[in-house]
Structure 1
Amino acid sequence: MNDEYAESAEFIDLLISPFWNDLAPALTEAIKTAAPGPVVDVGAGSGCGTAVIAEAIPEAEIFAVEPSAGLRTALLARVNADDSLRERVTVLPDKLLAADLPEQLGLVVAMNVIGHFSPTERQAFWELLAARLAPDGRAVLNLQPPSEPVDIPEAVAATRQVGRRRYEVRARARATSDTTLTWHMTYRTYQAETLVDERALNYTWHLVSESVLRGELARAGLRLHTTEPTDLGMFTITRAPA
């Protein structure tokens, strides 16, 4: 299985953590009244979201699904360092559609991940939700911009100082079809002002607009609801009324 994060896994937790300053309170609000039952964290990465879920729902059993071996190393380290997480979190080394999940789920969380799913994989995801969400269960996801096929010029996406070293990621994107972008990421490590390491990688991102998402969910018997604050692009998904 191709690991898109093989070159960047060691930097992801460092550079994505600041974005959770906004995401964490919004996600907590969206899930704190979730239905009882197992929780799935889709594309759990290094576990930032897993920790938020565990704090918001203190009794929940959580299945953290992460196919990248590098990211899973950070995820398992985070889980192992916390007694409560170690008791409640099962880490699964699979893609979501191949993961061994419970038959009924109270909550599914998919943050910063839906663009990794092709249209066919998204449809299978919605079918999984329709089949396994508890009657009063929900899913929570976010749509990251852009939703249209546009080129995005390179910019520094995040930077972090650790000891004497500064870590930086630069990102740019090129529209490769009507429904996909290719992201070009460059991870750099500096000691003082000296560049001591550089990694570059590319990956495909499938574009999803709110209207496309709403239509796909309706065909699967699901409903989409906006979640505040709207600038985070976060939504909840529930079963449509019978």
Structure 2
Amino acid sequence: MADPYERSAEYLDLMIAGAWRSLVPALTEALKGLGAVAGPVVDLGAGTGRGAAVICAALPGDEAVLAVEPSAAMRAVLLARVHDDPELRSRVTVLADDVAHAPLPDGLRAIVALNVLGHLPPAERRALWADAGRRLAPGGAIVVNVAPPVRPERVPRTRMASVAVGALQYEGWGSAEPSGGDEITWHMEYRVLRDGRPLSQVTVDYRWWVASESALAEEAASAGLVMRPTGDPGLGLHLLTRRGD
């Protein structure tokens, strides 16, 4: 299957930097709330490695972090970030797998899957809940975020990020249209400007499966997981733990 990030990975770490300013403290708090639970941590859909860096900072020590990222273009940035930091280099193992095929160990302290659920068709999402529920250590948790839209609806074209680097301005624009009973198609544009004049533009379309929080909670419950919100409601962050933990 074609890599939807092959043409856009050049821009994505810049585009998501602003969102991560809010995610860092929320993810840190969620992970520290796991208390004395021991075991490795998995970062599913690790992207450019911002999440892996937060995991290592929030959970100091020598526990392994498995960063799972199927996109070769995204892994190039991820590996550079990991290699550049001595602690990340000693703890983070980068796996070139997708969510469905990653060889996850048992006894996991946490699974972090931010900005990932929309990439998974419903059957793969349900398989993730079932597999993750079996592999969590007692007291472990899955950390996910639920981003709008949560139903197949139109999203008008919006500038999502604008970042200056040197003499150039980088912009990310997005819009979406319904493309199925439970999915939308995102239309993304990445523009590079100098003095307000466009130098280049890359456009990328990708599929995104949508689901409401209540629908996700029902799916998770069928796998023996309890889903609850955590942190600032605006971030859509949720913890999933095994029933009874």
TM-score tier by shorter-chain length is over 0.9
Tell me, in whole angstroms, the C-alpha distance in 2 between the residues paired with 1:147 and 1:216: 15
SS of the aligned residue for 1:156 comes to strand
SS of the aligned residue for 1:96 comes to coil
Residue in structure 2 matched with residue 23 of structure 1 by the alignment: 23
Tell me, in whole angstroms, the C-alpha distance in 2 between the residues paired with 1:5 and 1:171: 14
Tell me, in whole angstroms, the C-alpha distance in 1 between the residues paired with 2:81 and 2:149: 31
Residue deviations 1:54-112 (CA, integer Å, cap 9, x gap): 10001231000000111100000000000000000000011022112212211000111
4+ residue stretches of structure 1 with deviation over 2 A?
none
Query: What residue identity is the alignment partner of 1:38?
Result: P
Query: What residue identity is the alignment partner of 2:92?
Result: V
Structure 2 gap segments, 5+ residues each: none
Q: How far off its partner does 1:33 sit?
A: 3.3
**RMSD between superposed Cα atoms in Å:** 1.1
Query: What residue identity is the alignment partner of 1:128?
Result: D
Tell me, in whole angstroms, the C-alpha distance in 2 between the residues paired with 1:64 and 1:92: 6
SS of the aligned residue for 1:112 comes to coil
Q: How many residues align?
A: 242
Q: Which of residues 202, 205, 209 is equivalent to 1:202?
A: 205
Tell me, in whole angstroms, the C-alpha distance in 2 between the residues paired with 1:184 and 1:169: 11
Alignment partner of 1:42 is 2:44: yes
Tell me, in whole angstroms, the C-alpha distance in 2 between the residues paired with 1:92 and 1:98: 10
SS of the aligned residue for 1:45 comes to coil
Tell me, in whole angstroms, the C-alpha distance in 1 between the residues paired with 2:177 and 2:134: 36
Q: How far off its partner does 1:196 sit?
A: 1.1
Tell me, in whole angstroms, the C-alpha distance in 1 between the residues paired with 2:234 and 2:33: 22
Query: What is the aligned-residue identity percentage?
Result: 45
SS of the aligned residue for 1:4 comes to coil
Structure 1 gap segments, 5+ residues each: none
Residue deviations 1:1-50 (CA, integer Å, cap 9, x gap): 42110010010001101111111101100001332100000100001111
Tell me, in whole angstroms, the C-alpha distance in 2 between the residues paired with 1:241 and 1:28: 24
Tell me, in whole angstroms, the C-alpha distance in 2 between the residues paired with 1:57 and 1:33: 10
Conservation of the 8 A alpha-carbon contact between 2:152 and 2:183: yes
Tell me, in whole angstroms, the C-alpha distance in 1 between the residues paired with 2:90 and 2:139: 26
Residue in structure 2 matched with residue 96 of structure 1 by the alignment: 99
Conservation of the 8 A alpha-carbon contact between 2:64 and 2:91: yes
TM-score, length-scaled by structure 1: 0.97
Residue in structure 2 matched with residue 227 of structure 1 by the alignment: 230
Q: How far off its partner does 1:227 sit?
A: 0.5
